Structures are given as C-alpha cells and as structure tokens.
Amino acid sequence: MILNKNNLFHITTNDTSYLMRVDETKHLVLEYYGKKIKDVEDYSAYYNKWTFGTGCSVINNKELSKTANLDIMTLELSTTGKGDYNSPSLILKNNNGYVFDFLFEKFIINKIDGINTLKGLPTPKEADEELVIYMVDNASKIEVELHYLVFVASNVIARNIVINNKNEETVHILKAMSYELVLNNNNFEVMNLYGGWAGEAKKEWSEVKHGLLLNDSKNGVSSNRHNPFFMVKDKAATLNHGEVYAFNLIYSGNHSEEVECNFISLVRIMGGVSPFCFDYELKENESFETPFGVLTYSSDGLNKASQNMHHFINNHIVSSVFRNKERPILINNWEATYFKFTQNKLVALAKKAKECGIELFVLDDGWFKDRNDDSAGLGNYEVNEKKLPQGLKGIAKKINKIGLKFGLWFEPEMVSENSDLYRAHPDWIVKHPEIEPSEGRNQFSLDLTRTEVQDYIIENVSNTLKSANIEYVKWDYNRPISDFYLENGKTGEFFYRYMLGFYRIVSEITKAFPNVLFEGCASGGNRFDLGVLCYFPQIWGSDDTDAYERNFIQSGLYLGYPQSTIGAHVSAVPSQSVLRTTQIDTRFNVAAFGCLGYELNLNELTPVDIKAIKAQIKFYKAHRKLIQFGTLYQFSFMEKANHSEWMVLSSDKKEAVYGYFNGIQTINPETTTVRLKDLKDDSLYKFSARPQEHNLKEFGGMINYVLPVHINPSGFLMYELTKHKTMGSEKEEYIVSGDALNNGALKLKQEWSSTGVDENVRVLLDFGSRLYYINEVENSNK
C-alpha cells in the first residue's frame, strides 16, 4: 500500500514500512525502512534532524535550508558535484561536466493496471501498486523517474530508474544504479555470495567498517564470482532472529553492489548495472531504463528475508505457466556418457530411467554435427546423424515411447571456430576489428547486440524445437565475454546492449514455446539470477555434484533463491569434481532440496543402488509439491556447525521434510537436538526417518562381527555381496508436539562412536545424512 501526505510517502507491505519524503530542499530522502509501523497524522518525529551543518561540508541551497548537506542526507538519488562525497548512484556527464542536482517535480501512484513494463528488460509481474517519483535537474532538464513497485504479500519493493533526456544536448550516463537507500545503523555485516566455476554461491561475511564494500561482476554475466543477491544484516542477527535487509537485481549482465559507511556512520546501499566500462550516450528525447532492484526486510533473521525473496520469485518472477507447477524428475546423459554416445546407449539409459520412475530424458551436449568434443560444432545445431540416425524426431519418438518426455541441450549464444556458422559469418562474433579475439572453451561469443545475430538464434532454436517433440531445453553458456567492442565509439554500451539482445531472444523463444520448460545453465551457476528466472523457471546450480560441496552451494543459493529454481542432480561416485565418495542416499538427500535429476549411467549401477534410487524417487514424488514449493528454512550452516539442517514446511503447516547433513564424523559426537520453527505448537506430529540402506563396504572388516562366516573385506565375495545386500539404517519415529519440535525438546538417537550397529545407532559417517518426514496426526484446530 502507498500512502501519500504532503509529499511524504509511506509504502507498506504485510510486514514492512518504507518511509520517504521530499525535504525542504526538494531532495527525496529515506526516513525509515524496517518493520511495519502505523500510519500517523504527523510523521515529523521520524525525520532525520539536522540543526547545524557539519564542518568541512557544503550546504546545498542556503536559501532553502541552512543545514542541508547532501553528504549526510539519506538520499534516494545521489549525484555528483553538489557536495555529496559518498559514492553516488548516478554519474552523468554533459558539456557542463559532472554537476547535477535532481529535485522533486511530481509523483503518480498507479494501481495494478497502470504499471509500466520495461521495454527491453524483464519486469516483475503482477505488482500490487506502483509509485513513480519524477526528479529533474534544472540546469540540464534531464528527468529521472524513480519507480517503486510494491509486492505486499512478498514484503518486497522493486525499484528502478528511468533517465529521460529532454534537452538537445547529448548526455553520457556513466553510472546508473537501480536502487539506493541510506540506513541509520553502523552495526552491520554484509553477506554476499562469491565463487568460481563449480564452486558457486559461497557465503562471505564482512563487517561493515568505514569505507566501501563492492560486490560486482565484469565478465558479461551476473557471474559465479559475485552473485547480485546479498544481505546487509545486524551483526547480532541469526537465522531466525534479528534485522536483515536483502537485495537482488533483475538482470543477467555485469552488475555492481556497494555498501558504504560514511564518516557519520550512515550506510549507503546501492545496486545496479555495473559502471565497469559503461558509457551510455543519451540523445535528445531518448530514455534509458535500468533493471529493477529488489529489496526486502526481515525482523526475524535471515530465514524470513530469504522466504520473502522466495515468495517474490515463485509468484512474481517465474512465468505464470510454471508458477508453482511441479517440475519433472530428469535423467541427463552428460555425466553418464559425455560426448560418447550412440542412439542405442541413450535408449538403454532411458529405459532404465523409466524403470526407476524418472519422467524426463535430457540429451546434453554432443548431439549435433562435428560435436564430438568441445572444440567444434557450436552454432549450427544440425543433428549428427552418425549418433542419431533417425534425427531428433527419431530419438524423441523413441524416448516418448518409453514413457519419458524428451529434452535437449543448446548453447545458442556461442560459436566454435570450427563450425559452418563461423565459416559463413566470421564477423558475427564479439571482437575488435583489429585485435585477434581470444577463445574460451575453444569458442567465441556471438555478438548479441546485432539484430541479425539475434534473428538467426531465434530462428535456429525455434526450427529445432519445432522439428521434434521437445518439452524441455537446457540453455547453456560456457565462456565469459572478452574483446567487447561496438562501432562508432559506443563500446561503453556493449554489455547493456548484449543483455537487451539476450532478453529479446529468450523472450521471443519462450513466448513461441510457452509450454517448454527451460533450464538456464552457464557452466553451472555462472548466470544464476532473477533476469534469467523471468524466462527460465529453473537454473542448473553447479557443475559440482559432489554432495558435500553441493551442500554449501545450495545453502548459499537458498539465501536468495527458492529450491524450485535450483537444478540438483545425483551423480556417480567418486564425484568427478573432487573424487569424493558419498552415500547414494546422501547424494539424493541433498538433491532432493531442489529440482531433482539423475546424471549417471544407471546401467552401470548395482542392484542395491537401483533399489535405493527407486525408493528415493517414490519419496520425492509423494512429497514433491511440499519439497519444491514449501517454505524453506535453514537451521545451521555446514561451514559454521560441521552439519547443516534444512526444512520445507507446507503452507498449512501440516507437513514438513527435514534434512540433517553431517560434515566430518567425530568420535564422541554430541546429542543431536531437533529445533525447528513455525510448526503448530498445539498439534501432534509424527516425526519419522526415511529408511536408508548402508553399503556393507562402509563397515570394512567389522562386518565379520555380524556375519555367520568370515569373509575377506577386500575379496571377491565381499564385492559380490555388496551388490545385492545392504544393512538398514536405524529406525526412528516419534509422536511429538509442535511446541516440542519448535523448542528443541526432541533428541535423535545416538550417533555411531566405535559401537555396534543396531536399529538404535545412527550411523551417519562423514558427509552422511537423513531425511525426516513430519506430518500432523492430531489437529490443534488453529
């Protein structure tokens, strides 16, 4: 809801208030952002109060105010040249130089129907209301619109700016952040997600000290280096308590986020398109739109801030066709075959997948002409008839006949030097005319700023999608951009225009094929962001499928993104990423908190592993809606506690799935206490462990303590035995009250510690895990 009183704006969501006003110098300032406060007659008590200017400072306009010093004001739009010495959110340059001062002109409030959609960038869907504030720089006549979209139930405000040049003179935009706000608190810590290939979304915690913290990407995409999502939290805030602000950006290109604490300990936070190599020329009557930034606040710790973001993404980012729609369980042939496959091999894999209960078969890289390794073939997508003699139509038919849907991998934004497309259009790649372009993974980036390249990709991908019954697409992107260049001195617009090209392509293709499920991928999570999610409902989280490593990656992603958007697969062991061996159930337990897939050769597994997979899929299908769309909680982080705990809770609070993931097993382990949140205090719940099986190899020679005959733990007999026989995990089931679960009264069975094994010993091992299903058995009627 947006309240306006004499140019004071009080934006409220279910739990938050955002309070701004136009001050006596006509600047727009933030007076409060936090837990929802009441509407009152007179808000002046909440204003920042300046009764004298600080030394060494500039007074903006002494006629209007003797104290208005932009350097210490909580500006919603900051510029250069008028006494603000913090990092500005808007840097412009015209013939007069860099001096700009934007003052309030007017505002409008739009109800649902009037909400603006951006012309070339993704816009969040179905906002409740929109506030547009117009600010003008009187000398240059440049106008800046500040748009605030309100999403009441998500507790989210999305903000962007639009710059309109109403002057004959051209202006250069050197920096234009989407959102900016200044908070009165110097007790903050920043949590951002950093990483690299196969090691995405690692949490970094930095104390906010006087000075500037920067989180950005410069490689052309939102990147695995620094995700645009981040949190600014009170140092004392925990997972379930304390104040947390969270931010994201609906954009997939270079981005930049800043947190600056100034000399009077005001903290200015901003985010948007990165100013790195950015220089956008705006001629008379032209406009420039920034992507939307996304802001939320929680007074109940990190979980609530994440849940706000999840609600927003599930309801206002993901396309309506896939909104809250259950995602299929897939088998992907990549780690099963890599480039070496035949039609028969694929069909055999699909048959086994069907037997296990899998629903979708994804044919990954290597299906098209010349593509037998990663050195050739990208760009054309004509089927390789040696591998697929009946073409895509033929293989899709065979897969459909087995009873699975058929999905296909593409990497449309790229071209291999050794390809028909490159030979025909060497000028279509991103490069400087006089500089030898550099390759990444043996390929070049196609120049998506060019309309003919966009048209080619749209047509090429569309024709392939029409050629067979393809119901899923994995859209990959495997190298960062280098050698960026645009003609006529416009290179400063390259990265932004690349994104406009990308969004035009994916918007046209997804509109033409609305029922095809697209999964984004960029060597895993190199482009895991809200821009991609506007078109592709899910994104492959990481090429690292080792269950322990994935635990960190998914836990980081969950802070900003819901589990329904994260592709998560069970792979073979030892893991190709780190050569670690984890139990098949642990690999499932981690992947189960996402869009589940399998990516291994099912035909090379033992009967006991196939049995385990069948049981996993049965469990996942039985609870899929809850797992994919339930409210997600984290109760501990692996990096802090040597274990992690995740839970999904249904909206009616009648059922939950709780996962416990062990780090390194220690001797004399502590008692595990279960302390959950938000179950119904007065209800009774059944809490039961999903049965798992132990591979006998886990116990080595100790197996002889329970066997009637002695066998050699390294011998053939043991090898044969482990293919067919397993040992059941502990049995654990309780009837407990909701308040007991919420307050840590329930204790789990003792962990293994040089003991014997029976149904009362919880044998977890290094990286072991359990899932527990919790369902209400006696209703509290609340």
CB nearest ligand GLA: which residue? Answer: 365
- Closer CB to ligand GLA, residue 17 or residue 571? 571
State the minimum distance, in angstroms, from the CB of residue 474 to ligand GLA. Answer: 6
Query: Per CB under 6 A, does 475 bind ligand GLA?
Result: no
H helices of 314-359, in order, are 334-337, 343-356
Residues 620-659: x where in contact with ligand GLA by CB under 6 A, - otherwise, as a string = ----------------------------------------
- Closer CB to ligand GLA, residue 409 or residue 498? 409
Query: Per CB under 6 A, does 364 bind ligand GLA?
Result: yes
The long-range contacts involving 13-18, CB below 8 angstroms and separated by at least 24 positions, are 13/150, 13/151, 13/152, 13/153, 13/154, 13/155, 13/156, 13/157, 14/152, 14/153, 14/155, 15/155, 15/297, 15/298, 15/299, 16/155, 16/157, 16/296, 16/297, 18/148, 18/157, 18/295
How far apart (Å, rounded) are the C-alpha atoms in residues 736 and 720? 42
Q: Which stretch binds ligand GLA (CB under 6 A): 42-50, 157-165, 508-516, 521-529?
A: 521-529
Tell me the CA end-to-end span of the chain in Å, nearest whole number: 28
Query: Within 695-724, which residues bind ligand GLA (CB under 6 A)?
Result: none
Q: Which of 180, 243, 365, 585 forms a contact with ligand GLA (CB under 6 A)? A: 365
Torsion of CA 355, 518, 257, 243, to 10 degrees: -50
Query: Per CB under 6 A, does 143 bind ligand GLA?
Result: no
State the minimum distance, in angstroms, from the CB of residue 404 to ligand GLA. Answer: 19
Query: Per CB under 6 A, does 465 bind ligand GLA?
Result: no
Q: What is the DSSP letter of 704?
A: G
630: which 2 tokens?
């339930």
State the minimum distance, in angstroms, from the CB of residue 349 to ligand GLA. Answer: 16
Query: Per CB under 6 A, does 407 bind ligand GLA?
Result: no
Q: Which stretch binds ligand GLA (CB under 6 A): 169-177, 517-525, 638-646, 669-677?
A: 517-525
State the minimum distance, in angstroms, from the CB of residue 663 to ligand GLA. Answer: 26
- Closer CB to ligand GLA, residue 85 or residue 197? 197
Cβ-proximal residues to 457 (8 Å cutoff; 6+ apart), any chain: 412, 413, 446, 448, 505
Q: Which stretch binds ligand GLA (CB under 6 A): 287-295, 463-471, 516-524, 557-565?
A: 516-524
Query: Per CB under 6 A, does 523 bind ligand GLA?
Result: yes
How far apart (Å, rounded) are the C-alpha atoms in residues 462 and 460? 5
State the minimum distance, in angstroms, from the CB of residue 576 to ligand GLA. Answer: 11
Query: Within 3-62, which residues bind ligand GLA (CB under 6 A)?
Result: none
Q: Which of 334, 503, 646, 699 forms a contact with ligand GLA (CB under 6 A)? A: 334
Query: Per CB under 6 A, does 224 bind ligand GLA?
Result: no
- Closer CB to ligand GLA, residue 72 or residue 336? 336
Q: Which of 478, 564, 628, 695 forms a contact with ligand GLA (CB under 6 A)? A: 478
Q: Which of 176, 521, 736, 748 forms a contact with ligand GLA (CB under 6 A)? A: 521
Q: Kindly report the three-state secondary structure assignment for every residue of 661-697.
A: EECCCCCCCCCCEECCCCCCCCCEEEEEECCCEEEHH
Q: Mind giving me the DSSP string for 182-235?
A: EEE-S-EEEEEEEEETTEEEEEEEEE--BEEEEEE--SSSS-SSEEEEEEEEET
φ/ψ of 322, rounded to 5, equals: -105, 5
Residues 410-449: x where in contact with ligand GLA by CB under 6 A, - otherwise, as a string = ----------------------------------------
Which run of H or of E encompasses 360?
A: strand 360-363
CB of 595 closer than 8 Å to CB of 360: no
Q: What is the DSSP letter of 734?
A: E
Is the Cα torsion angle 309, 212, 491, 159 positive or negative in sign? positive
Give yes or no: 373 in active site: no
φ/ψ of 400, rounded to 5, equals: -60, -40
Q: Which stretch binds ligand GLA (CB under 6 A): 182-190, 221-229, 236-244, 519-527?
A: 519-527
Q: Which of 409, 518, 685, 772 forms a contact with ligand GLA (CB under 6 A)? A: 409
Cβ-proximal residues to 366 (8 Å cutoff; 6+ apart), any chain: 337, 338, 339, 340, 341, 372, 384, 387
Burial class of residue 50 in the structure, from the number of CB atoms within 10 Å of its CB (0-12 exposed, 13-18 middle, 19+ buried): middle
Query: Per CB under 6 A, does 476 bind ligand GLA?
Result: yes
Choose the catalytic residue: 71, 543, 544, 609: 543
Q: How far is CA 731 from the centre of its chain?
A: 36
Q: Which of 543, 544, 609, 655 forms a contact with ligand GLA (CB under 6 A)? A: 543
Query: Per CB under 6 A, does 524 bind ligand GLA?
Result: yes
State the minimum distance, in angstroms, from the CB of residue 470 to ligand GLA. Answer: 16
* Closest C-alpha to 446, from 462, 463, 464, 458: 458
State the minimum distance, in angstroms, from the CB of residue 545 to ligand GLA. Answer: 9
* Closest C-alpha to 374, from 453, 476, 501: 476
311: which 2 tokens?
């609600």
Query: How many beta carbons lie within 10 A of that of residue 118, not counting itself?
Result: 17
Q: What is the DSSP letter of 750?
A: P
- Closer CB to ligand GLA, residue 47 or residue 338? 338
- Closer CB to ligand GLA, residue 303 or residue 478? 478
- Closer CB to ligand GLA, residue 540 or residue 773? 540
Q: Which residues of the chain form contacts with ligand GLA (CB under 6 A)?
A: 334, 364-365, 374, 409, 476, 478, 521, 523-524, 540, 543
Cite the active site residues: 476, 543
